[in-house]
Structure 1
């Protein structure tokens, strides 16, 4: 994929390194000359420009871009970049960094944001995931669909422990997307059996979360 990252600070550069390592083509854009540290990410393309300007985005080639990542430290900039990427260039996927949790409500499809990533919320979710067994933990929200990525570690006394995935009557609008067992991810099939202490990852609507919690761990409701 071709990916443009607006914001070449430590966050933007870290994202670029990961994406380049996965074989993607990456362009980093920043208007601050001090942020253009080509030696730090030598395999990326670089552009000294203001990503909030249409002319800069045209120069960045957003018309041929698969994903735009708005990763600056300014929420206003990230919203403007996401909106322009969607409305002016029809970029298929936008991911925006939320710096201030108080601004998170704005990072939705109205501003062209497909996925909003709030570091404080992610850290909170990871802390809860680390200490909670049997409690449904919301990891993040897909802004365009309003579905959530949620996780639950199956307790030893869960009624569905030992049950095949295909035999479980899952709540509506709920999809089991991954089982993590002994630190290894498993793509679930109908024939896989759930085991105590499995970490289960779901995509689910907010309305289905209560039913999912009751099914997986009724004693924690």
Structure 2
């Protein structure tokens, strides 16, 4: 898969190295000559250009990319690059970095963004997840589908302890994606039995998210 990354700073280069290790082709784009540290990611393609300009994206042959990652430190640049990638080049998957939480509401399909990644939100969610037992914690939002990845850790008092997956009726638009138990990720089957301390991962709409807790814990 060919992936373009707008922004060759520390974040962009780190993403590029991970993707290259996974066997993908990576193009790093940045307009700042100081950011073009080619020796740091020697296996990537490099292009000194402005990701907000059509002529630059033409040079990048963006229409041959399956994914664009807008990873600059400027939210305005990330939004414009995302919009151009989606509307002008038909890039199937656009992932955008959110630098400032106050701008999070902008990063949706109207700007061509399929997945928005907010570092502050992820860090706060991980903190909540580490200390919250019995509460539903949102870990991630999938903007295009208006769905969220949420987590619930079962306390000892959960009414579903000892019950099987098929015995629990979830709200509409909610699906149990995984059970994390003793450091192992379990793909749930109808006959799996819930245990205290299980970390349950759900994909759910915002409406369903608010109803999940009542399925496992008496209010």
Question: TM-score, with normalisation over the residues of structure 2?
Answer: 0.96
* Bigger mean CA offset, 103-112 vs 59-68: 59-68
Q: Gaps spanning 5+ residues in structure 1: where?
A: none
After TM superposition, what 4+ stretches of structure 1 lie above 4 angstroms from structure 2?
Answer: none
Residue in structure 2 matched with residue 214 of structure 1 by the alignment = 214
8 Å CA contact 1:95, 1:113 repeated in 2 = yes
8 Å CA contact 1:135, 1:217 repeated in 2 = no
Q: Number of residues paired by the alignment?
A: 219
8 Å CA contact 2:168, 2:215 repeated in 1 = no
Aligned residue for 1:89, secondary structure, equals coil
Residue in structure 2 matched with residue 126 of structure 1 by the alignment = 126
Please tell me whether residue 107 in structure 1 is matched to residue 111 in structure 2.
no
Superposition CA RMSD, Å: 1.2
* Bigger mean CA offset, 27-36 vs 209-218: 209-218
* Aligned mates of 2:5, 2:218 — CA distance in 1: 43
* Aligned mates of 1:138, 1:84 — CA distance in 2: 30
* Aligned mates of 1:122, 1:45 — CA distance in 2: 29
Please tell me whether residue 94 in structure 1 is matched to residue 94 in structure 2.
yes
Offset, 1:66: 1.1
Offset, 1:190: 2.0
8 Å CA contact 1:98, 1:104 repeated in 2 = yes
Residue in structure 2 matched with residue 167 of structure 1 by the alignment = 167
Offset, 1:159: 1.1
* Aligned mates of 1:188, 1:26 — CA distance in 2: 35
Please tell me whether residue 33 in structure 1 is matched to residue 33 in structure 2.
yes
* Bigger mean CA offset, 78-87 vs 55-64: 55-64
* Bigger mean CA offset, 209-218 vs 122-131: 209-218
Q: Gaps spanning 5+ residues in structure 2: where?
A: none
Question: TM-score, with normalisation over the residues of structure 1?
Answer: 0.95
Offset, 1:183: 1.4
* Aligned mates of 2:201, 2:40 — CA distance in 1: 34
Per-residue CA shift, 1:159-199, capped at 9, x if unaligned? Answer: 11222222321111001111111112222222322221111
